[in-house]
Amino acid sequence: MTLLRTEGLKLRFGGVVALDDVSISIDEGEIVGLLGPNGAGKTTLFNVISGLLKPESGRIELGGRNITRALPYERALAGLGRTFQHIKLFGSHTVEENLLAAQHRHLSSSTLAAMLRLPSWRRDEVEARRRVDAVLELINLERYRHHRPAELSYGTLRFVELAAVLSLQPRLLLLDEPASGIAQREAEALGPLLREIRDVLGCTIFLIEHDMPLLLSVSERVYALDFGQVIAEGEPDEVTADDRVLSSYLGRTRRDDVAAR
């Protein structure tokens, strides 16, 4: 079953074409990679899918539902989770609170219930903490539960951010360079971890990654993007052998006038 489908997404920043007729389709349970040189439009595509940027034309469907006009929080409630190239965690929250804060999709107790500490509030809180336990155990972060982001290394924060977005229990997980800034050893562990996340939580993963061995080993299918266009799609081996993909990385012709990202 198709989980994410985009049709003819188009977006320009001034004179720069950031996305040009991007149509992709991702099935439920797949791990799909997105590759392309700097400025190809990968993060822009993520921003459009998660609603932070509005496309000029085109259509986005999540689980058969048209979400082209939905606000970012509505997409999150519909099951779309994402991480950022530059980590965005809540600085004054502990790791546990960061994970709790991501659970709006699953909690429902009202303002009044919280102020009067009614049973519905207590049920919500207990359930939320159980989910935190499960995610911390999966990502192996239990020992950092009460730490604040400022006390942790950048590599650990990458995993905390992943844990936070997982406690949203997304149906579709968009990861923007999950391995950037983390140690080689941790990057090597990331591949198996992403597969485990898919298998255990059943969420579909769409990731941008510049670490080619990681991207190619973890992805079942890959899209290649250049100048905002999909230039290749298929299994990792096919795509990396594609002439246009190779030239997009090696032989640049009109690179200098592209300032988009």
Partner 1 sequence: MNTKVMAVKPAKPAKPELPIPGRLPPANGTTILAAITLGLIAIGPLFLGDFASFVGARIAVTAIVGLSIVVVTGYTGQLSLMPYTFVGLGVFVAAHAITSWDWPFWFAAMLAAALSVPLSLLVGLVSVRLRGFYFAIATLTFASAMGATLFSWDFFTGGQKGLQVDRPVLGPIDLTSDRAFYLLTLVTVLALVWMVMGLRESRIGRAMTSVRENEIAAATMGVNVMKTKLVAFVVSGMIATVGGVFQGMLLQQVTRTPYQTPFVETLGVTLVILVVVGGMRSAWGPFIGAALIYVQLEVFRTALFLQYFIAAITAAAFIFVLLKLPGGVAGLIKHEAAQVRAAPLKNGIRVAIIILANVAVFYLIWELSQ
Binding piece for partner 1, criterion CB under 8 A, among 17-25, 164-172, 230-238, 252-260: 164-172
Q: Which residues contact 3 (CB under 8 A, 6 or more apart)?
A: 26, 27, 28, 30, 62, 63, 171, 172, 204
Residue 90 within binding range of partner 1, rule CB under 8 A: yes
Residue 126 within binding range of partner 1, rule CB under 8 A: yes
Q: Which segments of the chain does DSSP mark as H helices, in order?
A: 42-50, 72-77, 95-101, 111-116, 119-139, 154-166, 184-201, 212-218, 236-241, 243-249
Neighbours of 101 (CB within 10 A): 15
Q: How many binding residues for partner 1 (CB under 8 A)?
A: 44
Least CB distance to partner 1 at residue 224 (A): 26
Q: Which is nearer to partner 1, 71 or 212 (CB)?
A: 71
Task: State the pairing for strand pair 2-13/16-27.
Answer: antiparallel
Least CB distance to partner 1 at residue 226 (A): 26
Answer for which of 36, 60, 95, 121 binds partner 1 (CB under 8 A) is: 121
What's the rounded Cα separation, in Å, for the pair 82 and 80? 7
CB of 124 closer than 8 Å to CB of 103: no
Residue 92 within binding range of partner 1, rule CB under 8 A: yes
Please give the structure tokens belonging to residue 174: 């968009």
Answer for which of 168, 182, 218, 232 binds partner 1 (CB under 8 A) is: 168
Residue 103 within binding range of partner 1, rule CB under 8 A: yes
Answer for which of 53, 70, 107, 201 binds partner 1 (CB under 8 A) is: 107
The mark string for 189-218 relative to partner 1 (x by CB under 8 A, - otherwise) is ------------------------------
Residue 52 within binding range of partner 1, rule CB under 8 A: yes
Mutual angle of helices 184-201 and 154-166, in 10-degree steps: 10
Residue of 166, 240, 202 whose CA lies nearest to 27? 202
Residue 124 within binding range of partner 1, rule CB under 8 A: yes
Residue 125 within binding range of partner 1, rule CB under 8 A: yes
Least CB distance to partner 1 at residue 11 (A): 18
Answer for which of 22, 32, 62, 76 binds partner 1 (CB under 8 A) is: 76
Percent helix / strand / coil, the chain, rounded to 5:
40, 25, 35
The label of the residue with tokens 């336990």 reads: 133
Neighbours of 131 (CB within 10 A): 19
CB of 60 closer than 8 Å to CB of 80: no
Q: Is the dihedral of CA 157, 162, 168, 174 positive or negative?
A: positive
Answer for which of 16, 53, 70, 114 binds partner 1 (CB under 8 A) is: 114
Answer for which of 12, 65, 104, 255 binds partner 1 (CB under 8 A) is: 104
Answer for which of 23, 66, 108, 140 binds partner 1 (CB under 8 A) is: 108
User: What residues line the site for partner 1 (CB under 8 A)?
Assistant: 50, 52, 71-73, 76-77, 81-82, 84, 88-93, 97, 100-105, 107-111, 113-117, 121-122, 124-126, 128-129, 133, 164-165, 168
